[in-house]
């Protein structure tokens, strides 16, 4: 009971004093937008890249399969935070010392931490989902592919109309989980001074000296986003015409 009467319980009472929320709404909206856009960009481009990684891993050519294996091993075998630091502090410093880069139209993007975290998340998504999709492609019964070819489909059409949709259907729960993990990974953007949700919460904490409220509010927002992701993937699973 003493704990319930303590400071932590008092901080949980959001509606007792929400002045910090009203005063910093713009910062929270900016952080939410950054988080959502990072998630969207990383998921879309990472998923497309992952398909090519999976196909390369399944290729009989060593020139394709070995580099793809090396890529997934490096991405999955090193911490994401280390990768972000290498891109931002390594490539970022390198680019800043190249006059031809600083004078190019790319410099406004290359000096912005947002694009480094997006690049890191895209590669991370491709590395993890590449192995997941590879397993999904292998799990599609060969009879279904042979049937599609018997109906006159080319290998490309059979892949796009049968094998890939079947794979996505089989992997929908896994893809939903990977997307949620990707959402959580976007919080690392705050480590390179990008104002995402966590970065916004930390700024509010430093300005208002509110200890728990900003973090708890951000946790609630992440929870809502997670529920939205799970709902979207359930809808996708129902709309895919392929059935197990």
| Cβ contacts of 157 within 8 Å, gap of 6 or more | 148
* Percent of the chain's residues with pLDDT above 70: 89
pLDDT averaged over every residue in the chain: 86
Mean pLDDT of 120-138: 94
Q: What's domain 20-78+119-239's superfamily in CATH?
A: MetI-like (1.10.3720.10)
Could you tell me which residue, 225 or 150, shows the higher pLDDT? 225
**Predicted confidence band at 214 (pLDDT cuts at 50, 70, 90)?**
confident
Mean pLDDT of 115-130: 95
pLDDT(147) > 90: no
Model pLDDT, residue 3? 44
Residue closest to 44 by CA, chosen among 122, 140, 106:
122
Model pLDDT, residue 106? 86
What are the tens digits of pLDDT across the range 174-190? 999 999 999 999 999 99
pLDDT(198) > 60: yes
CA–CA gap between residue 64 and residue 16 (Å, rounded):
60
- CA distances to 156, 183, 237 from 234, rounded to whole Å, are 27, 17, 5
pTM: 0.85
**Predicted confidence band at 9 (pLDDT cuts at 50, 70, 90)?**
very low
Residue 215 in tokens? 């973090």
What are the tens digits of pLDDT across the range 12-36? 454 455 666 677 788 889 999 999 9
Model pLDDT, residue 105? 86
Model pLDDT, residue 108? 87
Neighbours of 217 (CB within 10 A): 20
**Nearest 10 degrees: CA dihedral of 210, 213, 217, 222?**
80
Radius of gyration of the chain (CA): 22
Instruction: Convert the chain into a string of H (helix), E (strand) and C (coil).
Output: CCCCCCHHHHHCCHHHCCHHHHHCHHHHHHHHHHHHHHHHHHHHHHHHHHHHHHHHHHCCCHHHHHHHHHHHHHHHHCCHHHHHHHHHHHHHHHHHCCHHHHCCCCHHHHCCHHHHHHHHHHHHHHHHHHHHHHHHHHHCCHHHHHHHHHCCCCHHHHHHHHHHHHHHHHHHHHHHHHHHHHHHHHHHHHHHCCCCHHHHHHHHHHHHCCCCHHHHHHHHHHHHHHHHHHHHHHHHHHHCCCCC
For the ranges 72-86, 95-109, 121-135, the lowest mean pLDDT is seen at: 95-109
Model pLDDT, residue 207? 82
Model pLDDT, residue 15? 45
What are the tens digits of pLDDT across the range 154-166? 888 888 888 888 8
């Amino acid at each position: 009971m003493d704990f319930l009467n303590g400071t932590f319980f008092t901080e949980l009472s959001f509606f007792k004093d929400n002045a910090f929320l009203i005063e910093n709404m713009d910062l929270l909206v900016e952080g939410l937008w950054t988080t959502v856009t990072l998630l969207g960009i990383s998921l879309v481009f990472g998923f497309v890249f992952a398909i090519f990684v999976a196909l390369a891993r399944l290729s009989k050519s060593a020139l394709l399969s070995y580099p793809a294996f090396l890529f997934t091993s490096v991405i999955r075998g090193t911490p994401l935070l280390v990768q972000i630091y290498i891109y931002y502090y390594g490539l970022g410093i390198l680019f800043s010392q190249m006059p031809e880069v600083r004078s190019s139209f790319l410099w406004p993007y290359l000096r912005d931490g947002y694009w480094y975290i997006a690049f890191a998340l895209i590669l991370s998504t491709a590395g993890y989902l590449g192995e997941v999709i590879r397993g999904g492609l292998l799990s599609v019964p060969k009879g279904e592919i042979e049937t599609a070819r018997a109906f006159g489909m080319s290998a490309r059409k059979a892949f796009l109309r049968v094998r890939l949709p079947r794979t996505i259907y089989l992997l929908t729960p896994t893809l939903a989980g990977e997307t949620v993990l990707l959402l959580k990974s976007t919080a690392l953007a705050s480590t390179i001074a990008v104002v995402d949700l966590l970065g916004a919460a930390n700024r509010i904490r430093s300005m208002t000296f509110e200890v728990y409220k900003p973090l708890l509010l951000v946790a609630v927002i992440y929870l809502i986003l997670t529920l939205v992701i799970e709902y979207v993937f359930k809808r996708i699973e129902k709309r895919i015409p392929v059935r197990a």
